[in-house]
Amino acid sequence: MADLRERSGLLTLEESFHLLRRTTLHPTYARAKALVGLTPAAAVTALLDAPEPPNPSPDWATKTPNIPDFNEAYRLFVELQNWWLGRVLTSASPRERLIMLWHNTFTSDYLNVYVSHWIVGQHQMLRTHAYDYSEMSRRIVGDAAMLRYLNGDQSIKGRANENFAREWFELFSLGVGNYTEPDVLEAARAFTGWRISGLTGTYNRQLADLGQKTILGQTGPWEWQDVIRITLEQPACARFIARKLLRSYVEHDPSIESIEAVAALLRANQYKIRPVLQTLLTSEYFFDPTLRGALIKSPLELVVGLASALNVTSIQRQYVAQVMTRLTQEPFYPPTVEGWKGHHAWITSSTYPQRQRFGESFIDGRQVGSSSKLVDDAGKNLVPDVIAFLKQFPDANDADKIVTNVAGALLAVPITTEQHAALLEIMLAGAQRYEWDINSQAAVQRARFLIQAIVRMPEFQLM
């Protein structure tokens, strides 16, 4: 049984890092230090309630779509990626990471949707309602991008398209085994009647099948709202969402008991996420030391996390998109409606070395797999200031301590004595421990050696 009682005591640096890694894309030393000494409840409140600057849609996305050809469509995809990347590279709000969870639940991809305006609309909807699963569910039905992605806009009375109905049950709410094939057919009828008009979906009851339907055991002249209501009443729905939350915040294979405990919280809070997270993220369970480093970073978490740690978040956004694509997380292009599978699927014989090479090159101020320099969006060269990075830690002039502190900031699991010794040797590169001088010119390359050795470790892929 997951122990959801509140964690007693005040947060240590390690616990602060853990909380930041699991909730934000920017688990930096400065942010962790600011949480040290707070109670878990105070820290979580501070994180979740921190003011967020507005995130207006790009101008073009608020106008009626006019996409004459693929070139224009593609130009907008890039704009879309840049708009979002600009946000996640600079916002440390837990909302950004939570939006990724919902984007990976209510998926859609830019090629199938084609009209980037609608993807912006979907993203803004998920942003606004990220802390309310029930509201998101109601709104996703008539979401323009979703209507196009799963053919809801082609589904009318007498000619129901089953695509959305099936994925609604399987991937958005209940999971396999909690509904029947007739439920899919009947729900497909109830989801008829939607069309896309300009930027949004519109419901036309005259096109909808208003006849009697039996869905999950309930019979009536159900329309789309009824399907959502009936679905969310199912205990399986709360379990399904609980599992997703646990996978994102705590561990990849939570026990049935943990899932039930969080599902009960979801039901008690009418699927509001904020109170559920407040309990979960302050719990003994969440801070269980054996669960530190139990998750594998997504490409987004890897890339933004490193850029943030080294204070180069002005990095060219399309470079980030390119790296994420190579690491199999192309922004706004999940491989299937199931979304990115995540966890072990992130790591293959191909992506693992790419992750290592990305990190090493980044620290040198180079783009991976080329001799090109890292640049910002204006084309100006960016070189991570590794000395400034090291100088933020106390005792930066103590070689032993700097290794400990840098590893503590960049790795979610403690290093062993042997690993510490090896990292120290790599950093010193032949020099003696007492010769380490953070202010000397020779320290720059040595600092790079240290950070590069750390990003090559498998531990660096964990969070």
Partner 1 sequence: MKKTPSTSDTSTPRIPRRSFLRAAAGGGLAVATLPTLVDSFAVQALAGGDPRLHQLLEEQDRVLVLVQMAGGNDGLNTVIPHSDPLYYERRPTIAIAKNKTLRINDTLGWHPAMTGFRSLYDEGQLAIVQGVTYPNPDRSHFRGTDIWLTATDADVFGSTGWVGRYLHTLAPSYPAELPEHPLAVQIGNATSLALLGTGGPMGISFRDPDEFYRLVNGGGGTGQVPGSPESDTPAGREISFMRNIARSADVYANVVKQANDKSGTTSVPFPTTDIGAKLKVVSQLISGGLRSRIYLISWANNNFDTHASQTSTDDATLGVHANLLRELSDAVTSFMQEMKARGHADRVAGMTFSEFGRRVYENGSVGTDHGTAAPLFVFGKQVLGGSVHGANPDLVNLDPIGDLLMQHDYRDVYASVLLQWFGVTTTAAQQLLVRDFSKGAPALFKKATTSVDDAAAERTFVRVGPNPATDFLVVQANVDANADAWLTLSDVRGTQHRTASVETWTGVGRLDLSGLASGTYIVTLHSGRSVTHTTIQIAR
Which of 64, 206, 290, 439 touches partner 1 (CB under 8 A)?
A: 290
Contact letters (x/-) for partner 1, 107-146, by CB under 8 A?
Answer: ----------------------------------------
Cα separation, 9 vs 11, in Å, equals 7
- Taking residues 359 to 398 in sequence order and writing x for each that binds partner 1 by CB under 8 A, - otherwise, the string is -x---x----x-----------------------------
Q: Binding-site residue total for partner 1 (CB under 8 A)?
A: 69
Asked whether position 413 contacts partner 1 by CB under 8 A, the answer is: yes
From the list 278, 351, 404, 405, which residue makes contact with partner 1 (rule: CB under 8 A)?
A: 351
Distance CA 36, CA 41 (A): 12
Residues numbered 431 to 460 that lie near partner 1 (CB under 8 A) are 449, 452-454, 456-459
> Does residue 335 touch partner 1 according to CB under 8 A?
yes
- The single residue among 294, 375, 387, 431 that binds partner 1, judged by CB under 8 A, is 294
296 touches partner 1 (CB under 8 A): yes
**Interface segment toward partner 1; rule CB under 8 A; list 18-26, 156-164, 316-324, 385-393:** 156-164
Q: Which two tokens stand for residue 388?
A: 């400034």
Does the footprint of partner 1 cover residue 291 (CB under 8 A)? yes
| Piece of the chain touching partner 1 by CB under 8 A; list 18-26, 86-94, 96-104, 163-171 | 163-171
Contact set with partner 1 (CB under 8 A)? 150-151, 154-156, 158-163, 166, 170-171, 176, 181-182, 184-185, 251-252, 290-294, 296, 326, 328, 335-338, 344-345, 347-354, 356-357, 360, 364, 369, 412-413, 415-416, 418-419, 422-423, 425-426, 429, 449, 452-454, 456-459, 461-462
